[in-house]
Structure 1
């Protein structure tokens, strides 16, 4: 039985090691040997990459840019002079709604979204298609947009990292980059490690009606290859860059994408104003592969209540596992590392720091309570004559033993005064390191009280402390009482 267990553990460890060597760092933990026996070893987590179009919401601007309401004729895509086709939103067989950009392909005839025609020429035919997840997404493969019509002569792909509040260009597409955007044409293959984040304009995808040239791409993998090699065989190198370069991580991260269609394919240098029904946009398929961004604290992502959320581990919480749970906030939250142990770490929100008394309370308490209004944890029931938020102070009538560490059970001893520290007040003198000898008129353990207070003969003080009246002071009183238990 023991041999069987060892063989299986060895097999598991070999499998994990091989997976790590190939860059598959999406396991959260594995069993390994240590001096204490078989233990769990935590590491970074990543949900699997999948087709993210099944979770998105699409919005068109202007909202009436889909053809068919009212019905209108358009020209055949293969023959722009045959204009007897019709788009009619009220008839299923003739309708081309936006959801047909994301349905299953392979059917004949193919299904596609289609815009209104350019019947209002020379007014620009410009349409924005916004894709939103209400969740941060990390792109893992090329974005592919397949046009049923000719590919646009002018288009911009944009991204947002703040749920559509602000937008940045991802890539420009044009038949003539200089004319359309005042940019020199480039290819992603021209980029280097120093220019990998450059925004470029490409002319590679802006041809006319060629049947074999319908797809526009945003090349994620070519940018990965700059660090991981042409066949992505060295993913560890890419992960090392992602681990240390926030701008690189953010480049492949989005909450929303926007396709800005600025000019349809004309197939010529001029627009045929006699056949404006031949100009429109039609998209049959959009593919976007990625994973939920969970800050390397989850290996799965759940779609519930029409929303994606990470299944957080490592004592983290939030839609993106972006903070520690309440009982685990003793140190600052941090994302996990892409690198494997020992170079990387899962950065677990460690309960031994924020919740378990043996460490956080210096061993003088094993209970804590969380005071939400001041966002702090407080030790409860401090022992060994200690008090304070972390049991780091001594109770009244006890003082700190300078030769003992904070976690020593003898850290607070019963001498009430100390000649060296001069703890006696109001001119009192410490006698035999045991008690204060007070001057006439004063009393108390440390000679801290005027004797007149005992008889009520002291004159009243102006400016006496008022009763705490705001919530913060009230909370501090509660904390102080808890700390002296």
Structure 2
């Protein structure tokens, strides 16, 4: 398995350890009123032994039919114990692997003895729940009368149609499986999911108290169905004593599987419904594992919740295209007197009961899906040329008189732009400057000195006066001066 997947498993384990994620939603008070906040959530850890279904193979592997005697490794020649399926006090059926011990009386499932040696004594124990589980701690199995010297723990992700090995156990890994022995604590993040063989729990130590096996698969694998293959019983030594085969058998008194229902972080409860564990799904999800969106709530593809960011994670709620919020809000408020649910704090420039409209000043991006964060585009209307900052559904702004263009930043014919559109004062076609005036940028006529007016249509001279040169006052003054000087020039010279 790749480093990326291994790190993902490790991150999931650490996140689930740091926070329990026991609440799917919480009613909080905001400025808009009381609203629901939704969180990633999961059921509490529990012992799954009460819910597991146990099947043992091959048929007839359980002792007692016919009744038989057996010995123990501690007292190999005192074979006074008996297994009899017809006697409740002497029977050892499979269900005793998951019962609760009472009055310190240990009950256990037991196989037939190895009376057919050298034929292998093989026993398969299948544990199933018809439900996906996530381990919250390591599996523990208690073996009475010695731990097996060789066994394999398998898993199935398809209800037992195919199996994959979790881990191998042997007193000699190289001899049994041609694998070098390893311990789980020796693994690193890069190979944490590697299948290994360990000798830690298979060697005979000569103590009756050494009967527990810790299957260290927490944070390494998810559980669905488990198959424990018992390949060789405890020998009580290094070889099989063929003269006393009644002391070789398998016996299990307890199987402890601490786990939680896998609900994809969409449920905080997992209940027994019609004999099967069932997630009580939230976030508009459904299915035994909350593995799909409810009918009608498929505005976006289903997605498992996320542990991050801690401590509440991300719910990844399934949404309904027309009545939920297209992913633009994760809080809704119930308005009692209107009997409606409305979205609160719409994001991504959306608004409306279901965040289905764009805010004023924004319009719908026709190329984006309704759940796209860029579904609403800003109008960007020109403040000088538009009536207001709103636009229509295609992005066109409402323009003032004379303005044009998508954003109202241009002028129509007959208008000029100057911090807005204004009517032309003059032009080269209809509004011609008169009397030799010239039009400047359609804004004004530049007139000759003797004319004035918007179009230079008005003479600067008053009526009845000579306007062909200097004024009459200036002319009279000049004539008077000429008359004064003329006699002087006419007198004879002496």
**Would you say same fold, with TM above 0.5?**
yes
Does residue 268 (structure 1) correspond to residue 237 (structure 2)? The answer is: yes
The 5 Å alignment of 1:18-33 reads: 22-33=18-29
Q: For each residue in 1:242-277, what CA deviation from the matched residue of structure 2 results, as whole angstroms up to 9, or x when unmatched?
A: xxxxxxxx9532221111000001122221111110
Contact 1:328 1:354 in 2 (8 A): no
Contact 1:207 1:213 in 2 (8 A): no
Alpha carbons of structure 1 residues 112 and 343: separation in structure 2 relative to 1, 3 Å: closer
Quote the residue 1:146 is aligned against: 142
Contact 1:130 1:258 in 2 (8 A): yes
Q: Offset of 1:109 from its aligned partner?
A: 3.8
The 5 Å alignment of 1:30-41 reads: 30-41=26-37
The 5 Å alignment of 1:33-52 reads: 33-52=29-48
Alpha carbons of structure 1 residues 194 and 63: separation in structure 2 relative to 1, 3 Å: same
Task: Please give the alpha-carbon distance, in whole angstroms, between the structure 2 residues aligned to 1:116 and 1:169.
Answer: 26
Quote the residue 1:334 is aligned against: 303
Contact 1:43 1:340 in 2 (8 A): no
SS of 2:246's equivalent in the other structure is helix
Match of residue 133, structure 2, among 110, 132, 137: 137
Quote the residue 1:214 is aligned against: 211
Mean Cα deviation higher: 187-196 or 20-29 = 20-29
Contact 2:319 2:325 in 1 (8 A): no
Contact 2:134 2:261 in 1 (8 A): yes
Q: Offset of 1:57 from its aligned partner?
A: 0.7
Task: Please give the alpha-carbon distance, in whole angstroms, between the structure 2 residues aligned to 1:342 and 1:309.
Answer: 25
Q: For each residue in 1:97-135, what CA deviation from the matched residue of structure 2 results, as whole angstroms up to 9, or x when unmatched?
A: 001111113544411100000000000001100001001
Task: Please give the alpha-carbon distance, in whole angstroms, between the structure 1 residues aligned to 2:54 and 2:103.
Answer: 22
The 5 Å alignment of 1:137-176 reads: 137-176=133-172
The 5 Å alignment of 1:318-467 reads: 318-340=287-309, 344-351=313-320
Contact 1:161 1:253 in 2 (8 A): no
Contact 1:329 1:354 in 2 (8 A): no
Q: Which runs of 5+ in 1 are unaligned?
A: 1-18, 222-249, 365-398, 405-485
The 5 Å alignment of 1:27-106 reads: 27-105=23-101
Does residue 112 (structure 1) correspond to residue 133 (structure 2)? The answer is: no
Contact 1:327 1:355 in 2 (8 A): no
SS of 1:76's equivalent in the other structure is coil
When normalised by structure 1's length, the TM-score is 0.62
Question: Once superposed, what is the RMSD of the aligned Cα atoms?
Answer: 2.7
Task: Please give the alpha-carbon distance, in whole angstroms, between the structure 1 residues aligned to 2:93 and 2:29.
Answer: 57
Task: Please give the alpha-carbon distance, in whole angstroms, between the structure 1 residues aligned to 2:180 and 2:138.
Answer: 23
Quote the residue 2:343 is aligned against: none
Alpha carbons of structure 1 residues 134 and 77: separation in structure 2 relative to 1, 3 Å: same
Alpha carbons of structure 1 residues 20 and 175: separation in structure 2 relative to 1, 3 Å: closer
Q: Offset of 1:402 from its aligned partner?
A: 6.8
Q: Which runs of 5+ in 2 are unaligned?
A: 1-14, 327-351, 359-392, 399-494
SS of 2:79's equivalent in the other structure is coil
Task: Please give the alpha-carbon distance, in whole angstroms, between the structure 2 residues aligned to 1:116 and 1:219.
Answer: 28
Contact 2:20 2:44 in 1 (8 A): no
Contact 2:72 2:145 in 1 (8 A): no
Quote the residue 2:483 is aligned against: none
SS of 2:223's equivalent in the other structure is strand
Task: Please give the alpha-carbon distance, in whole angstroms, between the structure 2 residues aligned to 1:71 and 1:64.
Answer: 12
Q: Offset of 1:30 from its aligned partner?
A: 2.4
Q: Offset of 1:46 from its aligned partner?
A: 0.3
Q: For each residue in 1:170-228, what CA deviation from the matched residue of structure 2 results, as whole angstroms up to 9, or x when unmatched?
A: 1111100110111111111101111111111111111224212100111245xxxxxxx
Mean Cα deviation higher: 60-69 or 33-42 = 33-42
Mean Cα deviation higher: 333-342 or 74-83 = 333-342
Match of residue 317, structure 1, among 283, 286, 301: 286
Q: For each residue in 1:458-485, what CA deviation from the matched residue of structure 2 results, as whole angstroms up to 9, or x when unmatched?
A: xxxxxxxxxxxxxxxxxxxxxxxxxxxx
Task: Please give the alpha-carbon distance, in whole angstroms, between the structure 2 residues aligned to 1:354 and 1:38.
Answer: 19
Contact 1:155 1:260 in 2 (8 A): yes
Task: Please give the alpha-carbon distance, in whole angstroms, between the structure 2 residues aligned to 1:362 and 1:90.
Answer: 70
Q: For each residue in 1:312-337, what CA deviation from the matched residue of structure 2 results, as whole angstroms up to 9, or x when unmatched?
A: 00011111101111121111010001
Task: Please give the alpha-carbon distance, in whole angstroms, between the structure 1 residues aligned to 2:240 and 2:62.
Answer: 21
Contact 1:353 1:359 in 2 (8 A): no
Q: Offset of 1:344 from its aligned partner?
A: 3.8
Task: Please give the alpha-carbon distance, in whole angstroms, between the structure 1 residues aligned to 2:88 and 2:116.
Answer: 26
Quote the residue 1:287 is aligned against: 256
Task: Please give the alpha-carbon distance, in whole angstroms, between the structure 1 residues aligned to 2:116 and 2:110.
Answer: 16
Q: Offset of 1:353 from its aligned partner?
A: 5.3
